[in-house]
């Protein structure tokens, strides 16, 4: 934003943000972070009950709206863009955050799970960028924030479907950054490591064992969604293209760029073995 001041930019109170998947986890934390700055906040999500609850939790006084929006339907995003233009005169920041997870080996992961995750994680972001670009052009600029993952930069085994969608979001963002710059549309891509959210609840896994590992990595993560939201808020304000939130993620990415591939690959394999040996969370006893 800082590098893309637009004619309509005023005090934070006049600024508007739209967050997909804003009913939970990172999307909700971002909605809260921007509402605290006095932004008008619009949440789009599949889950209406959690979306309304998320709105109710925003800082008092912040103008807010929930829109039911499934990122696998272009018309839902188009309807959100129309609502924002007609009601708030446009939008300043669009966060393509809605995402799901799939884990498991290549032979065991059903193609239907690949299609599901591509439709949400990759095409959901593509649809967000595609639908909001003409609106940004009409109002003189804007900022697209695409939530990828560290798995989009360094690709661990047993989560190739997830990593492939996130790597594609990084590629899309890199291309759009150059393509949309003349339109005063900034692009940021965010690549976090694991942090605690509800991501594992909707995740699909090829086996109970790998499901347990994913669950353990997300549920027991040390970092939280509000911490991620703070780093993203600051990165977007600075106009950063790439936001890396975790120190070990930054280090892995640096090693990938600097080391000869065989050496980097051995280090990644060692790290992946350690990650996959995480013991699943014991499941809560079911009520008798």
Which among 9, 7, 18, 67 is positioned nearest to 40, based on CA atoms? 18
CB of 86 to ligand NAD, least distance (A): 21
CB count within 10 Å of CB 236 equals 22
CB of 285 to ligand NAD, least distance (A): 24
CB of 50 to ligand NAD, least distance (A): 6
Neighbour-count burial of 145, counting CB atoms closer than 10 A to its CB (0-12 exposed, 13-18 middle, 19+ buried): buried
Instruction: Give phi and psi for 22, each to the nearest 5.
Output: -85, 5
Q: How far is CA 137 from each of CA 10, 16, 71, 104, 282, rounded to the nearest angstrom? A: 18, 16, 21, 41, 51
Whole-number CA gyration radius for the chain: 19
CA distance 75 to 193: 31
- The contact set with ligand NAD (CB under 6 A) reads 20-21, 23-27, 45-47, 69-72, 97-100, 120, 124, 147, 149, 192, 194-195, 197-199, 202, 218, 221, 225
Nearer to ligand NAD, 104 or 124 (CB): 124
The 3-class SS string of 55-96 reads HHCCCCCCCEEEEECCCCCHHHHHHHHHHHHHHHCCCCEEEE
Nearer to ligand NAD, 27 or 142 (CB): 27
CB of 223 to ligand NAD, least distance (A): 8
264 catalytic, yes or no?
A: no
CB of 9 to ligand NAD, least distance (A): 27
Catalytic residues: 162
């Amino acid at each position: 934003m800082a590098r893309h001041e637009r004619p309509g930019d005023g005090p934070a109170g006049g600024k508007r943000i739209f967050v997909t998947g804003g009913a939970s986890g990172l999307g909700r934390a971002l909605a809260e972070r921007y509402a605290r700055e006095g932004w008008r906040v619009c949440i789009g999500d599949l889950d209406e009950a959690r979306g309304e609850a998320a709105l109710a939790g925003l800082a008092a006084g912040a103008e807010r709206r929930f829109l039911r929006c499934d990122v696998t339907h272009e018309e839902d995003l188009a309807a959100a863009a129309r609502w924002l233009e007609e009601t708030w005169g446009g939008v300043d920041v669009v966060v393509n955050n809605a995402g799901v997870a799939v884990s498991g080996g290549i032979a065991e992961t059903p193609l239907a799970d690949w299609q599901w995750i591509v439709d949400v994680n990759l095409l959901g972001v593509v649809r967000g960028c595609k639908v909001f670009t003409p609106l940004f052009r009409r109002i003189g600029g804007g900022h697209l924030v695409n939530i990828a993952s560290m798995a989009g930069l360094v690709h661990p085994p047993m989560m190739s479907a997830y990593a492939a969608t996130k790597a594609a979001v990084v590629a899309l963002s890199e291309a759009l950054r150059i393509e949309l710059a003349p339109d005063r549309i900034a692009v940021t891509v965010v690549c976090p490591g694991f942090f605690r959210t509800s991501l594992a609840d909707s995740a699909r896994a090829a086996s109970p064992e790998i499901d347990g590992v994913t669950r353990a990595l997300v549920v027991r993560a040390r970092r939280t969604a509000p911490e991620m939201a703070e780093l993203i808020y600051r990165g977007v304000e600075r106009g950063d293209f790439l936001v890396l939130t975790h120190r070990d993620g930054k280090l892995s990415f640096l090693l990938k760029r600097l080391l000869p591939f065989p050496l980097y690959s051995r280090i990644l394999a060692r790290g992946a073995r350690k990650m996959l040996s995480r013991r699943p969370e014991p499941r809560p006893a079911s009520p008798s």
